[in-house]
Amino acid sequence: MTTAPEKTDAAVPDTVKTVSVTIDGIQVSVPENTLVIRAAEQVGVQIPRFCDHPLLAPVGACRQCLVDIPDAGNGRGFPKPQASCTLPVAEGMVVNTQVTSEVADKAQQGIMEFLLINHPLDCPVCDKGGECPLQNQAMSNGRGESRFFESGGLKRTFPKPINISAQVLLDRERCVLCARCTRFSAQISGDPFIELIERGALQQVGIYEKEPYDSYFSGNTIQICPVGALTSAEYRFRSRPFDLVSTPSIAEHDACGSAIRVDHRRGKVMRRLAGNDPEVNEEWITDKDRFAFHYATAGDRLTYPQVRDTDGELRPASWTEAFAVAARGLREAGGVGVLPGGRLTAEDAYAYSKFARVALGTHDIDFRARPLSAEEASFLAAKVVLTGPANGAPTYADLERANRVLLVGFEPEDEAGAVFLRLRKAHLASGTQVVSIAPHTSRGLLKMGGALIRTAPGDEAAALDELGMTGEHPLDSTSVIMVGERLATSPGALSSAAGLAARTGARLAWVPRRAGDRGAVETGCLPNLLPGGRPVADAQARVDVATTWGIDSLPETPGRDADQIVAAVNAGELGGLVVGGVDPDDTADPAAFRAALDAASFVVALELRETDVTRAADVVFPVAAVIDKAGMFVTWEGRPRSFDAVFTNPQALPDSRVLAGIAEELDRPLGFRTVGEVRAQMEDLGPWDGDRAAFDAVVNTAPTDTSGETMALSTWKQLLDHGSMQDGDDNLRATARHAVARVSRAVLEAHGETVTITGDRGEWTLPAEVADLPDGVVWVPANNAGNGVLADLASPGSRVTVKGAQL
Amino acid sequence: MTSTLTPVLTDIWDADQSWKLSTYTDRGGYAALDKALGMAPDAIVTAVKDSGLRGRGGAGFPTGMKWSFIPQDNPNPKYLVVNADESEPGTCKDIPLMMANPHVLVEGVIISSFAIRANKAFIYIRGEVLHVIRRVQAAVEEAYAAGHLGKDIHGSGYDLDVVVHAGAGAYICGEETALLEGLEGRRGQPRLRPPFPAVAGLYASPTVINNVESIASVPSIIEHGAEWFASMGTEKSKGYGIFSLSGHVTRPGQYEAPLGITLRELIDLAGGMREGHVLKFWTPGGSSTPLLTDEHLDVPLGFEEVVAAGSMLGTRALQLFDETTCVVRAVLRWTEFYKHESCGKCTPCREGTWWLVQMLTRLEQGVGEESDLDLLLDQCDNIFGRSFCALADGAVSPIQSSIKYFRDEYLQHLAEGGCPFDPMKSTLFADELEMA
């Protein structure tokens, strides 16, 4: 007999001690402190449960998971059944669940009977029916007939439903009071004013009369409700779970890459749920990721190509005609800039990148449909592209391991919800200290237990320069510096952030707002970068790309960035524009962008819906929404997140297919037609293994203008706002925070509770609210009023005047 | 028979203005404090351990042992919390004690806090008893003024502040972790244990929670010695305790006697049952303890002895019911109380009491059949030991025990289609009605 060598299990870290327990006669080893209910799952026994949730602290309230413990590991048993959701395993423990113990089985049946006495029999009309833990477990662990009814029992009733928020509805009589929703809000999202109120059988989930339950994560309470007590106004009574087809996907609303599940019926999305990805979003998503999906079925969704006719009007056209017209126009335009926007899949972004270089022969491409800087482009090329979890870039898990996370120009609750939840968890569970360089303490920062380094817009670089390995907020190699895309508007700030990282060993993470931003960086939708992180300025890199693409050469100098493209069109230096999903009001200068649309001799628009761009375009191509195409988003970490198409919709082609069609008409084919072919080509090209681009650090020498009566404008986009991808989701929008101007107490006292803010592009009159801002700074939400701050008021960081409103 | 009484806590109740500091000190009050401050804290813990004092709030956990669980190496402050949330039906010892002799509690608080190295103590008093709250507040104020509380007590260098906290009137807050929740300003609902309060109690710091009577007994142990205390009572239930007799007894009231006294002796002390009536059933320690009957008149009222008889000593709240009382009706009333006081946290208590009341209401009205009794007992079985805290265990005790001893009476209700008793006959004014 041969002796097999001892297996070394490298997967189990040696720091985790395991204990051996016997569950229903089966011995199993589990990590110490594992709860009995989860140890039982290891031997294939599902103990029924309601209040238990793996991501919430044990509470032991519903008592459904009672088991018999004849030996607690010390030779003595518990005299009474124990709740397995609160009891950690102990070495030698013997557990008998409902499978082997009559005591446990009877205890569970008894609890189930109690849960049902006050539960209405409205399963046939309940949203949860068919996917309801109460329904399922009543079948598996309950009795078929109601002794309560037989004994003449009278159920407790409540009027139904009541509003918890504009979106979340509560049927109190269905509630089993497991407190998952209230615990989620207390432990995970940190949003108050949803609580259990009243006593005994009249206990119920309630809200505070004077303050709303205001949460960007409220939809999670609906998803984890183990009964049909919480429903959304959006989905209530819309469909039955057994009619739905579920497709896993990735949320398209931010750079978090949250796993979602799209539930659809007969070609229509009915709802979206959080997927479960412990590495990324755990089991939580923002309300935007959950509820904002009707934009894809909006009435103004483009469904056929259009070309501008001789009479100046757009008319429907066939795909082939549109390809031909677009190709002819671009060939004759005399220099074309490409503005693909930040909403693209990586495959589509690659297609734009290659289209610009191969079909148009230019590096004039920039995905940044927002205020930007040359410093940022250099930062992205030198510090961001090609970094990822595989080569040591910080991840979600690293946020929990960090001793300190520094946020600069970045408001996670509004701009990256999954990052916010992970930072709050890190703060609560691992003591991570969150520090924010920002003008004021936001509600999100409070919930993360964060410290504020109060900084006026423009002074971020100076604030960063003062930090180091010592002082009040010392950074070390576990620390993570998260810089937001807004930092592009603060000269020198990205340079100072890079300097701070180099000084302290802390790691940098760039967190953009849009799902396609990071993928666009990786695929070279920048004037200074080629796909795979190849610097345009690097001759070897250019040769590498040109050879792979089978073209002679690429232009040697970097192209124009988005602002320069707009300026060049307005100056007549460029004649054509290819515009993807860009909202003019998001750009640094909306008026200039609109002027460029008019000034351009030829505009090709690839869009989902009718916009100012499509109205000005000469050829309009409808493109596929995310649900209609396969693709990949790259998270802020650099983690690729692939997804398949939910629907097959022949009316809408992915951007890559449209660009391939135009390129073929230009006789400069891109070598792909399908998303699969694009992906294969991307893999073929691969990442750049040569030198990274050098970082052109910038030192901000311009003194901050604090003269006169003016104040600096601080602004960012809140999670829920007037963004076009939330169109059609009225219940969601109703939960958005109201537009207010935040000012210091002194400013409020000087000007009153309604202020008029005047900038170089217009004025806004908003209710004022006190925040711990410096006296010289006013904050407004970027897109909760009018056409947004860039179009209607002023550029972020610029000077505005604040006056009491003339009412 | 009066010689069996051992008035210690109740000794000065008959004095003029017994609640005043002067009355208390005239009778030797606060002398034990001086003695205690001269002892090492651990010596006080040892003395309380040696005395055999067991928690007077019902569960009978050894008080000295509870104190010794406080981890003295924990850097957090230590707290003493006095549970004065006396709300159990029938239990009425702490409230008269705090009314008549609040200083014995205050002195006990100081000595006990000193023993566990606490510099802050809380007295959590049931919110409905405003007069008691005021009296204890006044006593604490007097104690501060006299230098028994505050900084450098009696020149010992020991500091103690006492907060008198008014509860919001929830029975569940007598459960120690629910009390802590309430004290911290949250809804009174019991907490998950572990961690136990000794490790992470009030404000997540080591906390001792003791009943009023337990703490009030401490000065006498210090003053007279552990042996003196241990010389009273039975082998495992040492010392004296207040026995609260209520109901159909000639002289209801507080009878302070050594543990181990029998109900027969106590009824004699109280002048016998109501004239012309006989004992039918009684609770040894409030409504949460299973009923006993006249078979149990000679059970020594000690912790183990009452358990052996099928009930619990509890709070020594002896509610006596004579033969005019309908046991079904009495049990229904109690069950309605538990339904009202269920905090709602866990399923068996919240939903179970809701159903129990409906069942009992029907039975009391004579509606139903014999199998309903089995259903009722099965419900009790599904509640007892399955709930989050002991409230629901208490809720089913009267039901289970009443069916055990008085099943026929339940059946009689069903047979007659209604209650066979005249509720007027069990009232105190029954005789007057008779004459009218």
A763 vs A351: CA distance, rounded Å: 40
Does A284 lie in the same domain as A202? yes
Does B104 lie in the same domain as B136? yes
Q: Is A7 exposed, middle or buried (0-12, 13-18, 19+ CB in 10 A)?
A: exposed
Residues 6 or more apart whose CB falls under 8 angstroms from that of A371 comprise A486, A488, A489, A587, A588, A790, A795, A796
A384 vs A387: CA distance, rounded Å: 6
Is A178 near chain B, with CB under 8 Å?
no
Q: Which two three-digit tokens encode residue B369? A: 């059949």
Does B346 lie in the same domain as B308? no
Please give the ipTM for the structure prediction: 0.95
Does A192 lie in the same domain as A43? no
Residues A531-560: what's their mean pLDDT?
A: 96
User: Which B-chain residues 320-339 have CB contacts (< 8 A) with chain A?
Assistant: 339
Does A655 lie in the same domain as A565? yes
Question: Is the residue at A792 inside a domain?
Answer: yes
What is the predicted pLDDT for the residue at A807? Answer: 66
Does A529 lie in the same domain as A634? yes
Is A107 near chain B, with CB under 8 Å?
yes
Residue B160 clears pLDDT 50, i.e. is over it: yes
Among chain B residues, CA nearest to A105: B382
- pLDDT tens for A38-52 read 999 999 999 999 999
Is A3 near chain B, with CB under 8 Å?
no
Is A114 near chain B, with CB under 8 Å?
yes
Please, are residues B127 and B88 in contact by the beta-carbon 8 Å criterion? Answer: no
A96 vs A105: CA distance, rounded Å: 10
Please, are residues A409 and A481 in contact by the beta-carbon 8 Å criterion? Answer: no
For residue B392, give the CATH number of its domain. Answer: 1.20.1440.230
Residues B353, A201: C-beta atoms closer than 8 Å: yes
Say which of A60, A80, A199 has its CB closest to residue B344.
Answer: A199
Residues 6 or more apart whose CB falls under 8 angstroms from that of B424 comprise B430, B433
Does A546 lie in the same domain as A594? yes
Among chain A residues, CA nearest to B344: A200
Question: Is the residue at A239 inside a domain?
Answer: yes
- pLDDT tens for A668-721 read 999 999 999 999 999 999 999 999 999 999 987 766 666 668 999 999 999 999
- pLDDT tens for A600-652 read 999 999 999 999 999 999 999 999 999 999 999 999 999 999 999 999 887 77
CA distance B420 to chain A (A): 22
Residues B348, A114: C-beta atoms closer than 8 Å: yes
B319 vs B93: CA distance, rounded Å: 13
SS3 state at B397: helix
User: Which A-chain residues 194-213 have CB contacts (< 8 A) with chain B?
Assistant: 196, 198-203
Question: Is the residue at A610 inside a domain?
Answer: yes
A160 vs B103: CA distance, rounded Å: 53
Cβ neighbours of A58 in B, within 8 Å: 192
Say which of B344, B367, B375 has its CB closest to residue A177.
Answer: B344
Instruction: Report the mean per-residue pLDDT for chain A.
Output: 95
Lowest pLDDT segment from A207-211, A388-392, B31-35, B202-206: A207-211
Listed residues A512, A537, A564: the one ending a domain: A512
Residue A761 is classified by DSSP as: T
Does A386 lie in the same domain as A336? no
Cβ neighbours of B307 in A, within 8 Å: none
Q: Give the orientation angle of helix A102-117 with respect to helix A133-141, to 10 degrees.
A: 140
Does A346 lie in the same domain as A280? no
Q: To the nearest whole percent, how much of chain A has pLDDT over 90?
A: 94
Question: Is the residue at B140 inside a domain?
Answer: yes
What is the predicted pLDDT for the residue at A2? Answer: 42
What is the predicted pLDDT for the residue at B3? Answer: 56
A116 vs A127: CA distance, rounded Å: 18
Please, are residues A634 and A628 in contact by the beta-carbon 8 Å criterion? Answer: no
Number of cross-chain residue pairs from A and B with Cβ atoms under 8 Å apart: 109
Nearest to B222 by CA among B3, B24, B29: B29
Torsion of CA B96, B101, B102, B106, to 10 degrees: -130
Cβ neighbours of A61 in B, within 8 Å: 345-347, 388
Is A118 near chain B, with CB under 8 Å?
yes
A670 vs A320: CA distance, rounded Å: 17
Cβ neighbours of B347 in A, within 8 Å: 61-64, 111, 114-115, 176-177
Question: Is the residue at B299 inside a domain?
Answer: yes
CA distance B166 to chain A (A): 19
SS3 state at B293: strand
The structural domain count of chain B equals 3
Q: Is B66 exposed, middle or buried (0-12, 13-18, 19+ CB in 10 A)?
A: buried
Is B344 near chain A, with CB under 8 Å?
yes
- pLDDT tens for B230-272 read 999 999 999 999 999 999 999 999 999 999 999 999 999 999 9
Strand boundaries in A417-528, DSSP class E: 433-438, 451-454, 480-484, 507-511
User: Which A-chain residues 46-105 have CB contacts (< 8 A) with chain B?
Assistant: 58-64, 66, 79-81, 86
What is the predicted pLDDT for the residue at B432? Answer: 80
The CA R_g of chain B, rounded to the nearest whole Å, is 22
Question: Is the residue at B381 inside a domain?
Answer: yes
For residue A90, give the CATH number of its domain. Answer: 3.10.20.740
Among chain A residues, CA nearest to B341: A200
Does B246 lie in the same domain as B174? no
Does B386 lie in the same domain as B309? no
Residues B344, A62: C-beta atoms closer than 8 Å: no
Residue A49 is classified by DSSP as: -
Residues A151, B368: C-beta atoms closer than 8 Å: yes
Q: Which helix (H) or strand (E) is A683 found in, with range? A: helix A675-685
Question: Is the residue at A55 inside a domain?
Answer: yes
Listing from the earlier edge strand, what are the strands of the sheet with A602-607?
A314-316, A306-308, A619-622, A602-607, A576-579, A336-339
Residues A199, B339: C-beta atoms closer than 8 Å: no
CA distance B203 to chain A (A): 17
What is the predicted pLDDT for the residue at A4? Answer: 43
- pLDDT tens for A360-410 read 999 999 999 999 999 999 999 999 999 999 999 999 999 999 999 999 999
Tell me the residue range of the domain where A83 lies: 18-115
Among chain A residues, CA nearest to B336: A200
Residues B386, A203: C-beta atoms closer than 8 Å: no
B216 vs B99: CA distance, rounded Å: 13
Does B173 lie in the same domain as B95? yes
What is the predicted pLDDT for the residue at A805? Answer: 87
Residues A201, B350: C-beta atoms closer than 8 Å: yes
Q: Which two three-digit tokens encode residue A105? A: 């089985």
Among chain B residues, CA nearest to A66: B386
Listed residues B322, B354, B371: the one ending a domain: B322
B26 vs A167: CA distance, rounded Å: 69
Cβ neighbours of A106 in B, within 8 Å: 381-382
Residues B339, A200: C-beta atoms closer than 8 Å: yes
Listed residues B322, B348, B371: the one ending a domain: B322
CA distances for A286 relative to A190, A218, A421, A735, A800, angstroms: 13, 8, 10, 12, 33
Does B278 lie in the same domain as B169? no
CA distance B414 to chain A (A): 14
Does A179 lie in the same domain as A212? yes
Residue A628 is classified by DSSP as: G
What is the predicted pLDDT for the residue at B429? Answer: 87
Residues B355, A115: C-beta atoms closer than 8 Å: no
Cβ neighbours of A151 in B, within 8 Å: 355, 358-359, 362, 368, 372, 375
For residue A262, give the CATH number of its domain. Answer: 3.30.70.20
Is A469 near chain B, with CB under 8 Å?
no
Torsion of CA A557, A558, A561, A566, to 10 degrees: 30
Listing from the earlier edge strand, what are the strands of the sheet with A433-438?
A451-454, A433-438, A404-408, A480-484, A507-511
B209 vs A241: CA distance, rounded Å: 51
Nearest to A148 by CA among B358, B387, B335: B358
B348 vs A758: CA distance, rounded Å: 62
What is the predicted pLDDT for the residue at A139? Answer: 95
Cβ neighbours of B382 in A, within 8 Å: 106-107, 109-111, 113-114
Among chain B residues, CA nearest to A103: B382
Question: Is the residue at B431 inside a domain?
Answer: no
A727 vs A721: CA distance, rounded Å: 10
Strand boundaries in A201-257, DSSP class E: 204-207, 230-232, 245-250
Nearest to A655 by CA among A370, A343, A365: A343
For residue A724, give the CATH number of its domain. Answer: 2.40.40.20
What is the predicted pLDDT for the residue at A704? Answer: 64
Is B158 near chain A, with CB under 8 Å?
no
Length of chain B: 436
Is B257 near chain A, with CB under 8 Å?
no
Does A342 lie in the same domain as A283? no
CA distance A202 to chain B (A): 8
Residue A806 clears pLDDT 90, i.e. is over it: no
CA atoms within 13 A on the CB side of A413: 23
Is A152 near chain B, with CB under 8 Å?
yes
What is the predicted pLDDT for the residue at A709? Answer: 80
Cβ neighbours of A113 in B, within 8 Å: 382
Among chain B residues, CA nearest to A118: B351
Say which of A61, A109, A202 has its CB closest to residue B345.
Answer: A61
Does A625 lie in the same domain as A565? yes
Say which of A111, A152, A176 has its CB closest to residue B348.
Answer: A111
Strand partners, B233: B238
Residue A14 clears pLDDT 60, i.e. is over it: no
The structural domain count of chain A equals 5
CA distances for B258 relative to A202, A795, B60, B261, angstroms: 43, 84, 15, 6
Chain Cα centroid distance, residue A679: 23
Listing from the earlier edge strand, what are the strands of the sheet with A18-23?
A26-31, A18-23, A94-96, A66-71, A82-83
- pLDDT tens for A493-513 read 999 999 999 999 999 999 999
Tell which of B175, B186, B341, B354 to mutate to test the A interface (max A CBs under 10 Å): B354
Residues B395-407: what's their mean pLDDT?
A: 98
Listed residues A670, A685, A700: the one ending a domain: A685
SS3 state at A376: helix
Among chain A residues, CA nearest to B378: A110
Listed residues B296, B322, B348: the one ending a domain: B322
Residue A5 clears pLDDT 50, i.e. is over it: no
Say which of B192, B347, B385 has its CB closest to residue A62.
Answer: B347
B88 vs A615: CA distance, rounded Å: 77
Which phi and psi (to 5°) does residue B108 adopt? -60, -40
Tell me the residue range of the domain where B199 lies: 2-230
Question: Is the residue at A626 inside a domain?
Answer: yes
CA distances for A350 relative to A574, A653, A656, angstroms: 23, 15, 8
Does A424 lie in the same domain as A389? yes
Does B115 lie in the same domain as B9? yes
Residues A114, B340: C-beta atoms closer than 8 Å: no
